[in-house]
Amino acid sequence: MLRGFCVVALQLQQALSLLQKHPPSSGIDTLYLLRHPQVEAMVKQPGSPAALATLLLSAASGAVGQDQPFVCDGSGAAPYEATKEYIGCFRDPNVSILGEAKISTIAMTPQYCANWCGSQGFGFSGMVFGTVLQTLIQCRTASQCFCGSSPDYSRATNTSDDACSSKCAIEPSLYCGGQYTNSLYQITNPQGEPSGGTNSSPNPPACQTNPLCSHAVCDTSKSISERVAALVKDFTQQEKILNLIDASAGSARLGLPAHEWWSEATHGVGSAPGVQFPKAPRDFNHATSFPAPILTAASFDDALMRAVGDVVGTEGRAFANHGFSGFNYWAPNMNPFREPRWGRGQETPGEDVLLVRRYVQNYVTGLQGENPEDKRIIANCKHYAAYDLESGRHGNSYNPSQQDLADYYLSAFKTCVRDTHVGSIMCSYNAVGGMPTCASPYLLQDVLREHWGFDQQDYHFVVSDCSAVTDIWQWHNFTDTEQAAAAVALNAGTDLECGNSYLKLNESLADGETTEARMDEALTRLYKALFTVGYFDGGAHSALGWSDVATAEATELAYRAAVEGMTLIKNDGVLPLGSGYKSVALIGPFANATTQMQGDYSGKAPFLRSPLIAFTSGNQSWTVNYVLGTAVSGTNTTGFAAALEAANKSDLVVYCGGVDNSIENETLDRKNIVWPGNQLELVSELSKLGKPLVVAQFGAGQVDDSALLEDNGVNALLWAGYPSQDGGTALLDILTGKKSPAGRLPITQYPASYADQVSMFNIDLRSNATAKFPGRTYMWYTGEPVVPFGHGLHYTGFDFAWEKTPNESYAIADLISAATAENNTLNDMAPFATVTARVTNVGERASDYVGLLYLASGNAGPEPRPNKVLVSYDRLHDLEAGGGDGALLELPLTLGALARADENGDLTIFPGDYKLALDNDRSLTFNFALTGEPAVIETLPAPKESYEFSVPVHMQPESTEAMSPS
């Protein structure tokens, strides 16, 4: 007995130490501590004095300042019924009338909303049918409920009740508001008072609530599989269906809360139906806003990508713990930026597959954490697959070759599934090979689950993009009815729908188009996934709270990400700016940008420092003459005179322009790749004044900079992307030399004529002279880029020397044998060699340096051959000026670096002569040969000749034009 007591005390002390270091907030009581893995394992040991342990744990809970232990009586509180009075219908374009609490569920009705708000002490409730992005409204059937203590009508207008006539999803006789239109009610009997300026108490895990706590799903003596099986078994058929939709209804009968699966984390906790940013001063009114992924990726800094993921995952879990978001975040967007006109390229890491793969591997691991069974949040790799166009996105069908699928369109998804153990995958809007991806047994079963092993853990699930299941019927015409679309999507492996077509599954079941067993399988995956984030029992990350959001460290990281990604395209020596400038003209549509700097899928930032704010800060001695000059797409020249006047009276001119979300965004592709509006006309006029002129180019999609590069009056050009919350400061610090630029362009800048030459619907990558197709991306483009992929200038110079190179020749068979022997398996991640190069800063300024290692061959494998392929990269930090010992670039190579797909999609190492080159200017090169017979290191399953569907289907031909609205 004494020995058992000592074991209890020792392990309890370890658990207490952990909790005292990171104390949970008051809403997590003794049961949280009891379920700590160390303590739970200890009290279940044979002979352990569990009663004594429980007593000690209760005392411990008081020691760390906890409330009274939760008591499970299985009864639940007496039902509360709000009494409500209808106020009216209000246009609410900014969703600003009520903003203190929010919930989204497919089960929404006016009474449900009033009950939920009133139970939390709020006196007003309102429903809005679609609130996140105007472009996504069409796919939202679940109304959102907003609560508040007092309505704010300052940005709203009263309107006809007809505008609030969107039918409630499960009770269509009732109305649940309208698109950005609020059905507002006053609650005359709210329970208690709402929380004040803060909300520091987290939501308890579901199994610490009555009456669910008495259900078998909360019985910790059972395995998780048994617990989930018990929950799914006790659902009614209708409850099953209502929990296969992102705005899941839960079960009021069982005490299972409603849960919104849709939260966003593309570059910070972002606005979404599942995310709430309450009005300040309430906690969780903001989150760290990092640069758009394409700018972060331009850093080519894996450690930075991982650190950003760590912060976003931490903040996301803090929001979830306190009920301000769900536990599932639909990020990252990892479709390569193939088409330069694509509106969503800003969300991606760029056009290169290696960069996308390494970004995904680091960002997803950061989001989820190291333990896949105790995650911070559940990440989601989207959009699977071959999705990179908004024009006609709901109905387009593409037929990429197996070669392009293996080399490009599927490569990063393989990394996401196989190497990061991501919790979920999102199938895309488009069709591949004639089958909509969310109904494709080839993509979802043959490749994803069977070939890549997504089924190895039964808590992995597939979610549709929003309305993609409806699109199967409505735009792809793959099925004849909506219920058939729901059936084929579910049967193919789409476990969760973002949308409402799964409400037709009752009819699908009745007609034998799907089975309840398949529904149970999907629900099992979903609820097992929620166990991996502590939804039912709590977990290692359940103590995260408001103090973990927007910390000083996170703020510094967001600034560093912006600095590291900014890329110097042109510089005649004017940069870095000297100290002699007494006045500066700050001109252009981004000069005073705030939210404009965030890009899409952003949340509420703690602050937004525009270039104007940064340039006028107390640290600067110059006078700032700010003028807008023109808008992003402006055609009116009336602002030119003021801009020229400001420039004439200034020593220096900085023009901040480019593209923004008004011309590149979700649902919005660009029509061309030229500078929009009359911005170039204004810059040209400014360049004639003879003043030092710096152009800062914002936005993700590249525009043809030929005119700026050729104009000697434009002294410098810097690409700044979407730098987000501290973008103005980052820009200023680079221009003044406080920081040195070292970013590299992660996309090719094509000439404007490319858009006229190439159809955006042409999914091919490889050039085809017969078809007058010049190819896509730096790997295959046969034309002359305006600015090449990987370009980036510095404020200093470098010397280079190889320290370690590969051998001059390898037998392919020996490489295969060595990799198989070492890893007992063979795939593209098997190591080949590590190349190292010493880099010495021989200039006068400290600087980072990014080394890009390319591989090319003129005779290996069949034609066409890629121009070159990025096979490794590394970023060195703070290389001191003036020589010294420099630092080593570490450039690991895998067998996948040597391989490319054959016509079957099989990754193959071909014999031939190869050249390694460091950077675009080939600062260093090394030649080696591979000998012997070609060897396949990895296969891609071929689609079957036919697939069996439970309903008649119609294979879709390849699209050559937009097949639906955007």
**155-160: Cβ within 8 A, 24+ apart:** 155/92, 155/93, 155/94, 155/96, 156/90, 156/91, 156/92, 156/96, 156/97, 156/182, 157/90, 157/91, 158/88, 158/89, 158/90, 158/91, 159/89, 159/90, 159/91, 160/89
Nearest Cα to Cα of residue 698 among 590, 594, 569: 590
What the block records as the tokens of 17 is 């130490």
Q: How far is CA 401 from the centre of its chain?
A: 27
d(CA 391, CA 271): 23
What the block records as the tokens of 710 is 């050729």
d(CA 611, CA 598): 13
What the block records as the tokens of 934 is 């070609």
- Identify the three-state secondary structure at position 858: coil
Cα dihedral 761, 766, 767, 768 in deg (nearest 10):
-80
What the block records as the tokens of 958 is 């390849």
* Residue 586 amino acid letter: L
* Residue 951 amino acid letter: V
* Residue 465 is a catalytic residue: yes
Name every residue whose Cβ is closer than 8 Å to that of residue 379 and which is 6 or more positions away in sequence: 265, 313, 329, 331, 332, 363, 364, 367, 368, 420, 422, 423, 424
Cα dihedral 451, 454, 457, 461 in deg (nearest 10):
-150
Which alpha helices (DSSP H) does 380-432 contain, by range?
402-404, 411-420
What the block records as the tokens of 704 is 């043809």
d(CA 29, CA 935): 59
Nearest Cα to Cα of residue 615 among 733, 738, 737, 741: 733
- Cα 31 to Cα 6, 28, 69, 138, 674: the distances in Å are 21, 7, 7, 43, 60
DSSP state of 204: P
- Determine which helix (DSSP H) or strand (DSSP E) holds 144, and give its type and residue range: strand 144-148
d(CA 741, CA 729): 14
DSSP state of 437: G
Nearest Cα to Cα of residue 518 among 493, 499, 483: 493
* Residue 83 amino acid letter: T
* Residue 564 amino acid letter: E
Contact (Cβ atoms closer than 8 angstroms) between residue 180 and residue 188? no
Of 301, 310, 352, 465, the catalytic one is 465
Nearest Cα to Cα of residue 711 among 728, 694, 730, 698: 694
DSSP state of 100: S
Q: How many CB atoms lie within 10 A of CB 905?
A: 21
The catalytic residues are: 465
